Amino acid sequence: MKLRRERNRREPGRKSSAWIITFSDLITLILVFFILLFSMSQIDLHKFKAAVGSFQERGDEKAALEQKADGQHKKKTKHSEDDLLKKINDYIEKNQLSSLITAKRDERGVVLVMQEAVLFDSGKADIKDQAYPLLHKIAVLLKTVSNPIRVEGHTDSRPISTYRFPSNWELSAARASTVIGYFTAIEKLDSSRFLAVGYADTKPVRDNRTESHMKENRRVEIVIGKSNKTD
């Protein structure tokens, strides 16, 4: 009996210290966990630099290829526009149109310029009867190319205020639309190729101080844009 009482007195103390073992195991696990994290965070500096350099080399190579492709595309586009301009000038000369139309090339593409008097009466947007043969010849030319086409109307700085055209904006836009209407309705050109733009007097080629300068500003420009083809 005495031995049993002594054992019972010792049991509470033994049970109360059992948590130390569990706590020690927990601390050990945490320590191992942080050691693993630390070991995983170590980066081989040389390998890292090699990997970064590889990506940089690939990026530089890609940029060089893109720059080369862009240069080739620009060169091809310029060559194509030069050929188109020559073709148009030859066509103008062959058909004796040089007194009615001029051709040039700028950042927009190849541009055909016709003065107002060739197509319209002053302050009107109805095509003159004598202008139809000219527009037909231009349509024949446009059918030989697939480029997008923008028709721009331009006026001089003198104001206009009529029932149909309250300002030069309406007049210039109507003239551009009328020309496109002829190409699509009469010549059966694809309407999806065309865009009508009215600039009024905002893009003069000369100042508006003299009648001859204003005459040059009153014009319609047919802009043959860059080809949509990517090959």
Tell me the percentage of the chain whose pLDDT exceeds 90. 52
Structure tokens at 159: 């104001």
pTM (2 d.p.)? 0.65
Look at residue 66 in the predicted model and tell me its pLDDT.
60
DSSP calls for 188-220: ---GGGEEEEE-TTSS-SS-SSSHHHHHHHSEE
Instruction: For residues 26 and 22, give the distance between their C-alpha atoms in angstroms, rounded to a whole number.
Output: 6
Tell me which residue of 121, 123, 141, 122 sits closest to 131, measured CA to CA: 121
The CA radius of gyration of the chain, in Å to the nearest whole number, is 40
Q: Kindly report, residue by residue over 188-215, the tens digit of the pLDDT.
A: 999 999 999 999 999 999 999 999 999 9
Say whether pLDDT at 223 is over 90.
yes
Task: Kindly list the domain boundaries of the chain, sorted by start residue.
Answer: 2-41, 80-224
Say whether pLDDT at 12 is over 80.
no
Tell me the CATH number for domain 80-224: 3.30.1330.60
